[in-house]
A = this chain, B = another copy of it.
Amino acid sequence: MSADGQATPNIDTVLELSRRHSNWGRWGPDDQRGTLNLVRPEHVTAAAALIRRGVPISMALPFDEAGPQTGAVGRFNPIHLMIRDGADVIAGSSVRDFYGGNDRHFRGTDDLIIMPLQSGTQWDSLGHVVHDDKIYNGYGAEWVSSKGALKNSVRNGAGGMTGRGVLLDVPRALGREWLEPGHAIGADELQRAADMGGVEVGEADFVFVRTGAMTRARAEGTWGDYAGGDAPGLGLASVDWVAHHQVAAVAADTWGLEVRPNETPDVFQPLHIVFIVYMGLWLGEIFDLDPLADDCARDGVYEFFFCGPPLPFTRAVGSPLNPMAIK
């Protein structure tokens, strides 16, 4: 029992929500695209009409060593290295047995990245979470092995991810700069943010939920425990609303989309189980929604054309991307 006389949510709550909203089999036994199946051409053409001012706005956090990762869960910030560079040219090093041979005129530079695919602005694939030895659509978890995801890889989303985008700026709707850690966003606050923005969330929408967590990290000049620590985010009370609206994807400006600490003491990231494993809903994390939110606040328009496919990393369970809102 929690303080208000309600039973504390637990794994049973999660299982009940999962059963209620499961999409296993909905798009056939071989489906690996989940809620992206909802996006039909008419959604894309309708969304095109939202390009009014001709302004693209990126929602990507730069990928670099200054990112939020701490090494926990094996996730570190991107490591960028040069393979050949301009200093080699200036120093005269490149003439000595280097790439490009003895050509005096052309010199190239090249570089390399080492990065966890979920270290920055990212889509989770439908193979990112395992529950009860299963991944989305009932595939056994053994399909995701050291070789990568032979089922539900992120490539299944690489051909699409275009349509109507909607920003739900929750802190602005509540008159705050940001939500506090532990703030569980429910259906009412999502609806309030939609109302504030003058938008109705609809089928096949790409929904971006701003919590202000990134705003706060900026204000404080440090990521603190942004990666994996306490955070505002979607709570269990948001699940029915999200499922009811039949959205294509949900992304947030936090490490893990969900409120932390989790409302379920016995389950880590319970919405990941409901959303990813059972609904096949695509989740985006570490989206930088501040520039978009500023723009929306200025022009009062909270809907836009969205284009943000993952990169087709074969057998990957996540992918960095540069998601674009175009208004």
Contact for A80 among B64, B104, B313, B326, CB less than 8 A: B313
Given contacts A81-B112, A311-B60, contact A106 B326 (CB under 8 A): no
Interface stretch of the complex, out of A113-121, A190-198, A229-237:
A113-121
B contact residues around A85 at 8 Å (CB) = 87, 144-146, 148
Chain B residues with CB under 8 A of A161? 56
Question: Looking across the interface, which residue of chain B has its beta carbon closest to that of A51?
Answer: B48
Whether the Cβ atoms of A127 and B109 lie closer than 8 Å is: yes
Rounded to whole angstroms, the CA-CA distance of A101 and B265 in the bound complex is 13
Q: Which residues of B contact A117 (CB under 8 A)?
A: 110-113
Q: Tell me the minimal C-beta distance from A59 to chain B in angstroms.
A: 11
* Contact flag A80-B315 (CB < 8 Å), given A56-B44, A108-B128: yes
89-108 of chain A: CB within 8 A of chain B: 89-94, 96-101, 103-108
Q: Which of A68-76, A176-184, A218-226, A240-248 contacts B (4 or more CB under 8 A)?
A: A68-76
A71 touches B81 (CB 8 A): no
Q: For the complex, is A252 an interface residue (Cβ under 8 Å from B)?
A: no
Q: Is A309 an interface residue (CB 8 A)?
A: yes
Closest CB of chain B to A123's CB: distance in Å? Answer: 11
Is A208 on the interface with B (CB-CB < 8 A)? no
Give the CA-CA distance A311 to B320 in the complex, in Å.
Answer: 8
Interface residues of A in 276-327 (CB under 8 A from B): 305, 307, 309-318, 320-322, 324, 326
Docked pose: A317 CA to B110 CA in angstroms: 6
- Give the shortest distance, in Å, between A113 (CB) and chain B (any CB): 6
Interface status of A214 (Cβ within 8 A of chain B): no
Please determine whether B107 and A112 come into contact, CB atoms closer than 8 angstroms: no
Interface centre among A55, A65, A132, A322 (most CB of B within 10 A): A322
Residue of B nearest to A79 (CB): B76
Closest-CB distance, A103 to chain B (whole angstroms): 4
The residue on B at minimum CB distance from A93 is: B145
Question: Would B51 and A105 count as touching, CB distance under 8 A?
Answer: no
Segment of A23-31, A134-142, A166-174 engaged in the interface with chain B? A134-142
Q: Knowing A311-B322, A324-B309 touch, does A87 contact B142 (C-beta < 8 A)?
A: yes
Contacts A103-B267, A268-B106 given; does A74 touch B78 at CB 8 Å: no
- Complex: how many Å from CA A118 to CA B56? 24
Q: In A27-86, which residues have CB < 8 Å from any B CB?
A: 40-49, 51-58, 60-66, 71-76, 78-86
Give chain B nearest CB distance to A65 CB in angstroms. 7
28 A-B residue pairs with Cβ-Cβ distance under 8 Å, sorted by A, are: A41-B54, A56-B307, A58-B159, A63-B313, A64-B315, A65-B314, A81-B146, A82-B146, A83-B146, A84-B147, A85-B145, A86-B141, A86-B143, A87-B90, A87-B144, A89-B133, A90-B90, A91-B145, A93-B145, A96-B150, A97-B150, A101-B268, A107-B141, A110-B118, A110-B317, A111-B148, A113-B313, A307-B326
